[in-house]
Chain A
């Protein structure tokens, strides 16, 4: 099974995308499944490490927190731009414990997707990431926010320990 479908999550996502792009019918389902199987099989030699979700339970909580944060930070940044006041932006170094590629990639996407924070880089040797904050007041607040709110939950999803 593992050899037949090296990337099961990718294959399922591709089938769903195929069905949405065309329409829901048995023929399209068979065709889409074929395309997804070939695509995930072709990705096998390119990306030998499959991303595996270890725990599904923290995902809804993470999504809810993320939706709230995106909405809130959108309104905050919009209000700041409209008020015409130039905020005191700055750079924060955050220590990250995780070395897992999936955790880091998703953390980068989450941080860049919320307006108000952007990911500038990560050093694999020291494990520190560089965060640019639009309206910087308390540096430590941002450090603990990234670590406790997102990194913990992502590690819970993708790593066994913690």
Chain B
């Protein structure tokens, strides 16, 4: 991408660097945290602030370059924002279910989900 004014280039660079840094921190957390349920929080950094910053940077850059509003990237961002919670939630439930099936409950015996709810 060439031909952006200086202020726009600095803005896009800052957004891109911030997003990549947040993604990297998320991956570091994924690698270093000791328990699975703690690691479940780490990719949230990649998918929320990491992707928002990078996609916002790309949107601003292309909109200024083409001199019209480019909304393609917003669609990707929206898609990531809507789908990641579903996958994280399913993974959390799957881990809970597996731990329970192997008699390694993470939760106190009084937990409300002692009988796993029937899924429909």
Q: Do A and B come from one complex?
A: yes
A residues near B (Cβ < 8 Å) are 17, 20-21, 70-71, 74, 77-78, 81-82, 84, 86-87, 89, 91, 93, 108-126, 128-130, 132, 134
Q: A20-B71, A119-B92, A120-B92 are in contact. List 19 more A-B contacts (CB 8 A).
A: A17-B75, A21-B75, A70-B48, A70-B49, A74-B48, A78-B22, A81-B42, A81-B45, A91-B107, A91-B111, A112-B86, A115-B26, A115-B42, A115-B48, A117-B41, A118-B88, A119-B89, A125-B117, A130-B111
Q: Once the chains bind, are A112 and B88 in contact (CB under 8 Å)?
A: yes
Q: Is the interface of B mostly helix, strand, loop or mixed?
A: helix
* Among A21, A81, A126, residue most surrounded by chain B Cβ atoms (within 10 Å): A81
Docked pose: A118 CA to B47 CA in angstroms: 14
Docked pose: A17 CA to B108 CA in angstroms: 45
> Cβ of A109: which chain B residues have Cβ within 8 Å of it?
82, 85-86
A-B complex: 4 closest residue pairs judged by Cβ atoms: A115-B44, A112-B85, A128-B112, A81-B29
Q: Once the chains bind, are A112 and B84 in contact (CB under 8 Å)?
A: yes
* Among B22, B72, B89, B107, residue most surrounded by chain A Cβ atoms (within 10 Å): B89
Docked pose: A96 CA to B96 CA in angstroms: 20
Q: Which of B58-97 contact A (CB under 8 A)?
A: 71-72, 74-75, 81-82, 84-86, 88-89, 92-93, 96
B residues near A (Cβ < 8 Å) are 22, 25-26, 28-29, 32-35, 37-38, 40-42, 44-45, 48-49, 71-72, 74-75, 81-82, 84-86, 88-89, 92-93, 96, 106-108, 111-113, 116-117
Q: Once the chains bind, are B38 and A87 in contact (CB under 8 Å)?
A: yes
Q: Once the chains bind, are B112 and A126 in contact (CB under 8 Å)?
A: yes
Docked pose: A134 CA to B37 CA in angstroms: 8
Q: Once the chains bind, are A115 and B117 in contact (CB under 8 Å)?
A: no
Partner of A82, one of B25, B72, B81: B25
| Contact (A77, B112) CB under 8 Å given A119-B89, A132-B92 | no
